Amino acid sequence: MRDEAARRERLSLWLPPPGYDGPLDSKDYMNLGFTVYRTDYSPSTDSLWDQLLFDLKLKLKESIEDCFEENREIETELEAVEKMLQLVHLDTRSDKELLDGLNDTELRKVFIGGIGGIPLNTNKSSHRVSLFADATVFAKLHNNKTPWIRAVQLDYEPARHEIWRDPRFINERQYFWGWLKLSLMGLFDFWSMLQVRDLSQLAPAMVTEESAAILDRGNEVNDTVN
């Protein structure tokens, strides 16, 4: 995602259409971010939740600035980057009564039922993805070389990926389970890549949750402790 063509493609999302010189405000653009669900409410996670949200927003802004640093002297690009930073938004969902202990399938039912409001950007088929902070995410937040959060496909259909149920492919492994590990520094690249690729195409192959790699700015890195 660091090559010039990809950089220009992402930048074009926040540039006015060619020849347009009228006003553009935030309603003309998608918010740049995700809905973040918290599903672990053990006492030790209260401060971790606050820190996670702070880190997510900070890393998202830092990665935007880092991506376009080389050409910030170009006025149109400077304006586009400033627009991106203004549009950074995290829609946070922390409701112990509703969300405590829910797994992916149960959280998808919350989404389908419209409970708590529509998640951010899910009116776009490309961005039906939310971030989940569960017990595993909190446990690894400060002792991993690459801190990560779960990025979950909200309209995941297991039958589409359980090819081993077909007698012809009974020995085939399933490698996608509707989610991936996403590095905190990889939020902007991931958000941008969703414009053209499905989450199932971006996810590193997952045989077990423990062994699955982390998606970090378009690369796969090992999930290892400090």
Instruction: Give the model's pLDDT for residue 209.
Output: 82
Residue 135 has phi, psi (to 5 degrees) of: -60, -40
Strands, sheet with 91-93, edge to edge from the N-terminal-most edge strand: 91-93, 35-38, 129-133, 148-153, 179-183, 214-216, 219-221
- Helix residue spans in 92-170 (DSSP H): 96-99, 104-112, 135-140
Which residues of the chain are modeled with pLDDT < 70? 1-28, 70-76, 161-173, 226
Instruction: Give the model's pLDDT for residue 23.
Output: 60
Read off the pLDDT of residues 114-163 as tens digits, 9 standing for 90 and up.
899 999 988 888 899 999 999 999 998 888 889 999 999 999 988 776 66
Instruction: Give the model's pLDDT for residue 1.
Output: 42
Read off the pLDDT of residues 188-199 as tens digits, 9 standing for 90 and up.
999 989 988 999
- Give the CA count within 13 Å in the CB-facing half-sphere of 185: 12
Structure tokens belonging to residue 76: 């149109």
Structure tokens belonging to residue 66: 């880092």
Cα 13 to Cα 58, 81, 195, 202: the distances in Å are 21, 10, 10, 20
